[in-house]
Structure 1
Amino acid sequence: MTDSTASTPASPSNPPPGTDRPGAWSRFLTATELDTRLIGMVAALALIWVGFHMYGAIVNNFGAFLTPRNLWNLSVQTSSIGIMATGMVLVIITRHIDLSVGSILGFCAIVMGMLQVYILPPILGLGHPLIWIIAVLAGILSGAIIGAFQGSLIAYGAIPAFIVTLGGLLVWRGAAFLIARGETISPVDSTFALLGGGPYGAVGATGSWIVGLIVCGGIIFGVLNGRRQRTKFQFKQRPVWADSFLALLGCGATIGAVILVNSYYWPRGIVNQWAAANDVVVPETGLQISYGFAIPVLILAVVAVGMNFLLTRTRFGRYVFAIGGNPGAAALAGIDTKWMTVKIFAIMGGLAGLASVVASARLNSATNALGTLDELYVIAAAVIGGTSLAGGVGTIFGAILGALVMQSLQSGMVLIGFDAGMQQVVVGSVLVLAVFLDILYRRKSK
């Protein structure tokens, strides 16, 4: 005698007998496959922003944090730390650490400053269009060479990364001082200075809308391509509503960012200077020119997309996670862990060189003190973003969110009048708390 009731496979909407039906929030997370840690970070970031804004509104009768001007400046200030944080994710995933990134940034800035002020102008001529290009390439290449050198000492010399990079922190800062003799090198090439942001270092309203439409197109393409790939490799599809929600969420956030940056206008003095230089008549009511996306922010966005692709869509990225998960097993599986270590530190050094481009261009000068303590903020950004110090876990976009959290804390404390000592106390406490929460998260996931 057979049972006439057909058995139905278990699923989130039809759990096995004897089990509780998952809640709506759990079903939503399962369908959309959103990372709960990233959701928590976004919520924490929103809480920080609203908290600082409300504090300013109550104490000073004016909330200055959630304004287009402050958020635009915040995005620019986050760029150099965010760029380096994407490389630190790879380093920490493989169970290493790099304490020298701030010093490498300062050293590369001095190299580029010397090229632009003392070396290239006599050879090519002052204002030559190749000066800034050569300087940028030299800065990135210098950082990559330094990173590869330190990676070689770690991989082939069997010296702990902590010791090598701690030595690098002192060596490269001292080398920058010796090269520049402690002097500030300025001004940098005028085109190079645009890479640091400012009124002319942004793409304007029209350019921002073009960037926004391109990003929205990329998001929609990514969602559709993801469905095709899942069908091709016979993976389970997300519900159509979930993919539609993710596409709308991404496009909505992008359009919101475009509206925000286009709401921040040039100061009147700069508008008048620009109008006089370009023979434009300024009407009596004034002329509003939007900043749009700053060039450093666009550089960070390109780096983020590229590094995320490298980490999640390439063999190199799979090797990074394999080494972080179990270095011994990775070596036995045929992965050249030593050569991978050299390449990872070379990438980290190159990104520090790129960050030095943004930092020195924004300052319009190069000084050996540039990047001081940046290594702590970069490590903190990666850890706050979910990169585990135990290795094997980390995301690029999480690290950028972590950098934004760190910079938001600093910017907010400056706006409400906290002194430098209190700022360091808060930042240090947040770092320790982030590591503690990571430990709790890993215990719970076991």
Structure 2
Amino acid sequence: MKRVVICGLSHRAFNMFIQPLTEDFNEHYRITGLLDIDLQRYTLCQERFPSLRGVSFFHEDAFDQMVKETKPDIVIVAGRDDTHVTYIMQALDHDLDVITEKPMVTTAKDAKKVMEKEAESKGKVTVTFNYRYNPFHRKVKELILDGKIGRVTSVELSWLIDTYHGASYFKRWNRTRQFSGGLSIHKSTHHFDLVNWWIDQKPKQVFAYGALNYYGSESPWNPLQGEENRFCGTCHVKDICHYEARWNPRVERSKVEDDHIESGQEQTQQYSNYRPDACIFDQEIDIEDTYVASVSYDQGALLSYSIQFSAPYEGYRLAINGTKGRIETNEFHVPSRIPFQFPQQTISYYPMFGSKETIEVVKQPGGHGGGDPLLLADLFIGKDPLIHYDILAGAEAGAYSIALGEGMWRSVTENRPIEIDELFHKETV
């Protein structure tokens, strides 16, 4: 029986880790400690998971005490992004294995510290990049490994986040770089890791443009400029707010569910000193919502990447070019939030000389396109013997996805190309 402690009792921690550990993997794993800054989250955790009643709670600065009293084998880190580095480093100091939510940390400098600490420790860091496990993403990896397109030369990835999902980041702590590193790290780390993993190359240099276009106090969609600190649950101008009208119509206040977004209205009064329904037009917002970037890799591949967080629908367009052909796929994500007809996702393979092939991938149930259950199985049962390549990500993969994200926003700020290796040695944050 392996003993597990959870650092950060977040919505993600509840759904991604605590529920499976208490329901699906409880024969071999037992949660022995819970750590968070907010005692109220501990109360909520016990209410939702009665089997955890009696499990000890520790405040954020009591990690060493928790380890001493609960004797864990594994530390799961799932709190606010800026707290990750503290618990990862402390866990490695105790030679404990770490499973951490992405992003592993929020700066390349901290990522370097984690890699160095891991090299000295008996513990190992695993970063839960569940997008790798999506069946379409695995198929893309397999096509490349099979040599179908030859040597990868360039990648085109355009990602769209709809106004429901996108707005959620600007209602919560993610809206400040201090806590999240910005969305170029918090969200784009997923996408950069996918590309790095698909092509098996390391990013070398990035140049980018970015801006805050749709959120913040200067947004053209702000229903009342000049007034700060509004909250959706108590807002007096929500009847003239287009975002509110799109997702919470006046006649039918139905909730549009998402597998990793907190239900803001329900949680408003349940946390201490925190509300996940802050106004998306606040002046406090100091991150970008739009990026376009060009990236060069150490083995010659090039990436053209874009993302924007206030799109009419959610999904992505991907193309990977090689010396022997091209792979294309388009995804329209969260069908319940798309108000128009759209095609089902397939993968198109275009050989350099020959006929196009259309691949219909076998879909799987579960969050993130079926990726979450497979990730959990690899974490808590062991590597799938039927998959001949590695999917679980370690500290190095986490580090390069973060460095690329940091390089993207630094390039925007400094208006120059950013060398990725430079960031691992940068003194400023």
- Which range, TM-score by smaller chain? under 0.3
TM (norm. structure 2) is 0.25
Greater gyration radius? 1
Q: TM-score, normalised on structure 1?
A: 0.24
**Higher helix share goes to which structure?**
1
Task: Write 1 or 2 for the structure with the bigger share of strand.
Answer: 2
Higher relative contact order (Cα pairs below 8 Å, separated by 6+ residues): 1
